[in-house]
Structure 1
Amino acid sequence: MIPDISDYCEIDVGLVRKLVGDILYIQYDMDCKEHEAHFNSLGNDGCDENACITIAPIRKQFDETCSPAIASKCMCISDHYFPVGLDYLRGAKFVVFNDVTYPIENPISP
């Protein structure tokens, strides 16, 4: 849960969670392009043998289904609850959502 976020009052959209080192990124997949690329990939994750060098391993978690976003026109400040797999929370110390970084109060040891 991330408290007091200024965001859409209601939104129905797929989420992508990316774990990079000790930072968990949570983002909306507004038009489902990341879901499409992931679920319909040929298994190479967009890398060729010479062009996929990363400093930290990146893991992604996708919702089972995704459809283009349906968002309310109003904005609200509310607590947001995001379903995140336990294995994605192990070792994470920060969460980034809407370009804001939040510390995880009680991180789970890897």
Structure 2
Amino acid sequence: MRVFAERARRAAPPSENFRSRSRGSDCHFHRLRGMFAMHQIKEDPVLSLRERECIQWISRGKSSWETGKIMGISPNTVNFHLKNVKHKLDVSSRTHAAIKAVSLGIIEP
């Protein structure tokens, strides 16, 4: 107990401790931000013909079943291609994938 009390008395005032800690975290934040910025510079993803065709129909409001009937493949195959598109475009929904594909110029609106 005595050792802890002595260390507490010798510690810098709270404002100085906060500044020194925040200075360290600022440096850490900027270093991490720079690392993420480097990873964000990516080339446009390359989609296969089937993936582009699937996301094109999805962007027009078609369901997996409708897209499958149009393309002559099963709805499960459509979902497989859409899963690959979402992964390549780094998105989590079909809608976001369609919007991103249009904004990147991968498909026509």
- TM-score, with structure 1 as normaliser: 0.21
- Pair member with larger Rg: 2
Q: Which is richer in helix? A: 2
Structure 2 length normalisation: TM-score? 0.21
Query: Which one has a larger percent strand, Structure 1 or Structure 2?
Result: 1
